[in-house]
Structure 1
Amino acid sequence: MSVPTTRRAALGAALAVSLLAAGCGGSDTADDGTITLNLGLFGTFGYEEAGLYDEYMRLNPDVRIVEESVERSADYYRALQTRLVANSGLADIQGIEIGFVADIVANHADRFVDFAATGNADESLGHYYDWKVEEATTADGRVIGLGTDAGPEAMCFRRDLFEQAGLPTDRAELGALWADWDGYLELGRRYEASPTKPEGSAFVDSPASLFSAAVYQGQTAYDDEDGNPIPETSDGVATAWQHASTAADEGLTANLTQFGDEWNSAFVNGAFATISCPAWMLGYITTQAGPEASGTWDVAPLPGQASNWGGAWLGVTEASEHREEAIALVEWLTAPEQQVRMFTDSQHFPSSQVAAEDPAVSGATSEYFSGAPIGQLFADSAANLRFTPIGPFDTQIQEAFTEALSTIETDGRAPDEAFDAALAEIEQIVGG
């Protein structure tokens, strides 16, 4: 699973520096012929926890797998960028997060094996959703990694809070009521106006929740087809800002900072009733809310078009001393069978269409989320996703917009003024 770069609990830059100094590359071969394949990852990919490394080593006794992982992906990528420029200290296999895949595609593709040119290209690439492959493809057709998970979105909601506020809780009915974001906001007004809603609770956790989901429903989000930032003219930005700023201006949000301490606590204390919910968020909610909240949460379709938040790839570095063995390991870890296992084990939703259509995924329900048909909900979203151009500054651009949105509710800033402030900050980011 991957979460945007600043959203991880900080491990600290010192760890990233120490890992860089130590290096995680340097494949070796033991006296008995066993080779070591090193993986440089971030966050929680979950392969070790799911037992996939042990299984692969049983199937391939001549291979030893060593994973080094940095908790915070921003720290990980700063170290990786340095290694890529120096072409030194690289692991055989490096994790690539959606927040920095565009930079690698544009500036470091030559450091990675082209999976479109391997002998198993048809098999290793053919099972994916097209948009997942396209995001990791250069202008000249090189594919720099194979996809792991994806983050198709739905809407998570608190059944108990809806019931107290007198709102419907049937998933299909809610999906019809909030078929678009206007309907979602109207339901939010009903929630806020309800005399029986829980005291101190808001309809949605933050304007960022709405904005981050809606922005990728446009033809463009932050960039044009060449990866150039276009926040002023993007249809996705305009629509997302309109709806998110309305929610903030009307006080429909708890205005929490996502992944902050107060936000984490809010999953327990019921400070909000809805949150845009990529597939990996289910595990996050389960962890934060705890077992006592089982059955209070549910999942319904996302308002508007399909949207994606999150996902990663595994790339094999050209500097690897065991290139073919590393390719074979990546192909195995990302094969449909293993992607199915990662979903059933850890709810990492597949970026493989073949895996997503497997009954173990498409037929999955969640007892914690009130029996919601999570496999079908997220599979429907993934199947309807379309490729939206991405660029190297997307994470920073999104943060500028979401931070500006918070000032509307906190400081009473006018939406137009907040939008202009975000654009000014983005100009500094992109121009710098």
Structure 2
Amino acid sequence: MRHRSWVSVLAVLVAATACSSGEATQNGKTELTIATFNEFGYEDLLKEYEAAHPDVKLTQRKTGQGAPHHQNLFTKLGAGSGLADIEAVEEGYLSQVMDKASQFNDLKEIGPNVDNRWLKWKTDAATTKDGKLIGYGTDIGPLAMCYRKDLFEKAGLPSDPEAVKSLFATWDSYFAAGDQFIAKSGGVAWFDSASQVFNAMHNQHELGYFDKSDKLVVESNPAIKADWTAVTNAVAKGQSAKLVAWSNEWNSGFKAGAFATKTCPSWMLGVIEAQAGPENKGKWAVTEAFPNGGGNWGGSYLTVPKQGKNAKKAAELAAWLTAPEQQIKAFKAKGTFPSQVQALKDSALLEQTNAYFGDIKAGALFAAQAQKVAQAQYKGPKDGQIQENVFSPALQSVEQGKSADEGWKTAVAEAQKVAK
């Protein structure tokens, strides 16, 4: 009886010590949770980390889609509890996280020394105005241009990946080539969706929909109106297939050959192959070119919220997961394109080929495209909402018959409402 009592007292003391140290433990192990969405390629990596760190117990919370993951993230940020030790954040939601940067740990302060690991623009996007690093970069989505070789040939355009580069040199040359294509295409559109093209153009600018004081600049930034005019002019000339991205009609458009070109981040190759199907193998091509240089669409970060009790160990895990060696392993597992400078030079990436796109060295192609991204665009806290909920619907309304001027007025008015 005494022995049992002493064991009970000892257990209480151990638990109290664990609590006072600020760490969540189970059976003497530090417990760490990581919340991700879609496919990060971390399943085997987490097992590898546990094997190398027997004092750590890892749990992955995996959500099928990004939207519910981020909704949960912001809900629990507001509640002040319930978040994982590591929370993944997709770049489309990053501006909202940066607006709440005080609720996340500065990884420069609590993490290991990992300076200069990433492409500069990747790190800059997750760095606050006062220099705090909120997230370690995971994958990226460098942009190239995908196109239908057979449709180009029928319209009398060059079709070889090298020969088409001049068509995609600038946005002016891109839309001019679209005019040539439409004249002989027999009703096939040049691109899939006005918003898909507009977003790629807009994201190349230094500023998004806000300036660095978080003031809305939709009306005062001439680049936004210029992009709007260029895209809506192309719509008026019949260049758009007028498809809503990710809709059933958009998906089937790949197989049906409804459009000839596609703004193409690295991960889009898999989407095209899945939607166009085996019967179109060899018809789609990708070229090492993108209008006006480079761009990025997609990618994520690993953050360490201040709610967690194991911040330093969480930062160590996040740093390990985003190291060059692990980024290459994740790339091999799920095709997540690395953002680490050394990983972009790895032979496993540079020698990777894609049979569906004519055995092109896709890894090397997109590694080169990643180097062309000039800067991280500054995005205000509601930037993503304006792009998704204001400009995309406004452009769709123009595709459905509203005048470009009326669509622009609607976009400006709705953006002002969101920005309040």
Cα separation, 1, equivalents of 2:325 and 2:190 = 39
Cα separation, 1, equivalents of 2:152 and 2:342 = 36
Find 1:424's aligned residue among 393, 403, 413. 413
**Change beyond 3 A, Cα 1:287–1:125:** farther
Q: Secondary structure at the match of 1:304?
A: coil
Q: How does 1:81-100 map to 2 (within 5 A)?
A: 81-100=74-93
**Change beyond 3 A, Cα 1:127–1:415:** same
Q: Write the letter of the residue equivalent to 2:103.
A: R
Q: Secondary structure at the match of 1:222?
A: coil
Q: Is the 8 A contact 2:141 2:297 kept in 1?
A: yes
Query: Does residue 1:388 correspond to 2:377, yes or no?
Result: yes
Cα separation, 2, equivalents of 1:290 and 1:63 = 43
Q: Write the letter of the residue equivalent to 1:208.
A: S
Q: Is the 8 A contact 1:116 1:141 kept in 2?
A: no
Cα separation, 1, equivalents of 2:329 and 2:243 = 34
Cα separation, 2, equivalents of 1:241 and 1:150 = 26
Query: Does residue 1:66 correspond to 2:54, yes or no?
Result: no
The equivalent residue for 2:38 is 43
Q: How does 1:99-118 map to 2 (within 5 A)?
A: 99-107=92-100, 109-118=101-110
Q: Secondary structure at the match of 1:302?
A: coil
Report how far residue 119 of structure 1 moved: 5.5
Query: Does residue 1:147 correspond to 2:137, yes or no?
Result: yes
Query: Does residue 1:162 correspond to 2:149, yes or no?
Result: no
Report how far residue 27 of structure 1 moved: 7.8
**Change beyond 3 A, Cα 1:139–1:358:** same
The equivalent residue for 1:258 is 245
Q: Is the 8 A contact 1:397 1:426 kept in 2?
A: yes
Whose relative contact order is higher, 1 or 2, with alpha carbons under 8 Å and at least 6 apart? 2
Does 361-370 or 325-334 show the bigger shift?
361-370
Give 1 or 2 for the bigger CA radius of gyration.
2
Cα separation, 2, equivalents of 1:52 and 1:34 = 18
Cα separation, 2, equivalents of 1:372 and 1:223 = 39
Structure 2 residue ranges without an equivalent (≥5): 1-21
Q: What is the alpha-carbon root mean square deviation over aligned residues?
A: 2.0
Report how far residue 200 of structure 1 moved: 4.9
- Counting matched residue pairs gives 396
Find 2:393's aligned residue among 376, 400, 403. 403
1:319-346 deviation line (CA, Å, top 9, x unaligned): 3222232112111110011112223333
Report how far residue 187 of structure 1 moved: 1.4
The equivalent residue for 2:313 is 325
Q: Write the letter of the residue equivalent to 2:409.
A: D
Same amino acid, percent of matched pairs: 39
Q: Secondary structure at the match of 2:202?
A: helix
**Change beyond 3 A, Cα 1:85–1:175:** same
1:223-245 deviation line (CA, Å, top 9, x unaligned): 21233331122344233212211
Does 415-424 or 252-261 show the bigger shift?
415-424
Query: Does residue 1:275 correspond to 2:262, yes or no?
Result: yes
Cα separation, 2, equivalents of 1:294 and 1:393 = 40
Query: Does residue 1:222 correspond to 2:209, yes or no?
Result: yes
Q: Is the 8 A contact 2:111 2:316 kept in 1?
A: no
Cα separation, 2, equivalents of 1:201 and 1:66 = 49
TM-score w.r.t. the length of structure 1 is 0.86
Structure 1 residue ranges without an equivalent (≥5): 1-25
Report how far residue 211 of structure 1 moved: 0.5
Q: Secondary structure at the match of 2:239?
A: coil
Q: Secondary structure at the match of 1:310?
A: strand
Q: Write the letter of the residue equivalent to 2:42.
A: Y
